[in-house]
Chains A and B, each alone.
Chain A
Amino acid sequence: VIIQAGGSPRGTRAAAHVADHVFGLTKSIPLMVQQRTDLDKALLDEGRDPDTVGIFWSSRVMVGETESEAHAMRESMIADVPLEAVGVWLSHNTGYDMSQLPPRFSLAELQQRIVAANASPVGFVHLLAKKYGDHAEITREEFFEHGLHAATGYHITFAGTASQLADRMEEMFEATGSRGGFMLSISQAASRQVLQNTVNYLVPELQRRERYRTSYEGKTLRENMLA
């Protein structure tokens, strides 16, 4: 099974050419729908059936027995994170040394520096520019605050009870053509509870809604991903 994650126009074309399934970043629903539409078009151009290619949306879930337990689990992700750790992550992922940032700058200016470092045009700063506009000026502190949420995965983490999370996942799944599913990040450093609650509460809730397998359909990964 070949999977691929390119989100840029060139990356989407490559995915349609080589991938059995695609790995996508969770964004706002309209942007996710756009990626699905672009991929379907690229697949048709390659003479492939878009129904057989799923997108696995990268996200994180914090499943709690109660809503407040879930939110507390999510908040622990950003508690006491040193600024240097955020700087390391942002610099690594954009190819630009963020310790060099001036006190104020526009996102367009920062993007130019990143492109000059020949990094991928789709990234954290690109998404931030989409949200605030290219020419909006932000301070270094504001930028690192956004960076903290991206660096820890906090911004793509949905916290709630199994039923709240299943509602949200069904909405995203249906909006993006009811194919594929979700790639849920878990940390090797996190509490066991994150993984255990996902399997113990979210999976049975999805099964109750007839949205999830109750046993493996096939023997190989290829068979199971297509089922």
Chain B
Amino acid sequence: MKKKKIHLAFDLSWTTVETQWRLPDSWVDRHHPNIGMFEEVARTAERGGFDMIFFGDSTGIPDTWKGSIEDAVRHGVAWPRFEMSPWITKMSAVTSHLGFGLTYASTFMHPFYTARLLNSLDHITNGRIAFNVITSQRRADYANYGHDELPDHNERYDRLEESSTSAARCGAASTPMPSYGIAEPAPWRIRARSARSTTSANPSRSRGRSASFPRRKVSR
């Protein structure tokens, strides 16, 4: 019997604590990040037959520790944060089969905008885009989008399901589709608390809260 093949992907997210930049032969260049490094990683991954290079993304700079981004910036923990879609178009230009995984949080991003962006990227890369849909759970992320608190765990996942369904309909999938066409109106709304959300780990928090996000001015 033919053996099942193992698939490999590279995860190039900047999410862990890194101190190897100071070692000889590090990727880190005089200025970082350098697009040449990303192109070299892409060529090498394609030479190794990898399915894709994946970029996780949390948009926030860590600021929970001592209530400040200071140590995150000093030690380069999840900093700097870039929007990776422009980098992916450059990496796709030096490869022909390697895929690229990109992450957006359905908790914050509108499904139409996300679908249109991913559809465009999928066209420019000839069908090589994967969309990693996340709910996001970090304060630094939701503060950037102007929220004081997150909807609870279950509610975030309810939203992920409905926004992904509409995003998929709009063409995040790489099957041929009419460009930009939304098959039916995206059901983008903040749902009233559903019956299954009552299993929240911390129901007291949501009591008396309206179904929409509280807004605040972003001070940073």
Contact = CB atoms under 8 A, between A and B. Distances in A.
A-B interaction: yes
Interface of A: 1-6, 8, 10-11, 13-14, 17-21, 23, 54, 56, 58, 76-77, 79-82, 84-99, 115-121, 148, 151-153, 169-170, 173, 178-193, 195-196, 198-199, 203, 206, 209-216, 219-222, 224-225, 227
B32 interface: yes
Interface centre among A8, A93, A170 (most CB of B within 10 A): A93
Interface centre among A85, A96, A221 (most CB of B within 10 A): A221
A40 to B, nearest CB: 16
Contact of A199 (B45, B67, B135): B45
Contacts of A20: 130, 173
Contacts of B8: 181-184, 203, 212
B217 interface: no
Contacts of A115: 201-202
B72 interface: yes
A169 B17 contact: no
A54 B7 CA distance: 9
Interface centre among A8, A18, A56 (most CB of B within 10 A): A18
24 contacts: A2-B131, A2-B133, A2-B164, A3-B54, A4-B134, A18-B160, A81-B19, A84-B65, A118-B150, A118-B201, A118-B202, A120-B137, A121-B201, A184-B8, A184-B10, A185-B16, A188-B14, A188-B18, A188-B28, A191-B26, A203-B8, A211-B6, A219-B126, A221-B51
A103 B17 CA distance: 23
A19 B45 CA distance: 24
Interface residues of B, number: 88
B9 interface: yes
B9 A183 contact: yes
A180 B153 contact: no
B23 A185 contact: no
A88 B77 contact: yes
A214 B49 contact: yes
B65 A91 contact: yes
Contacts of A1: 99, 129-131, 173-174
A56 B18 contact: no
Contacts of B174: 1, 220-222
A214 B33 CA distance: 31
A153 B66 contact: no
Interface centre among B24, B54, B100, B167 (most CB of A within 10 A): B54
Interface in B72-111: 72, 74-78, 97, 99-101
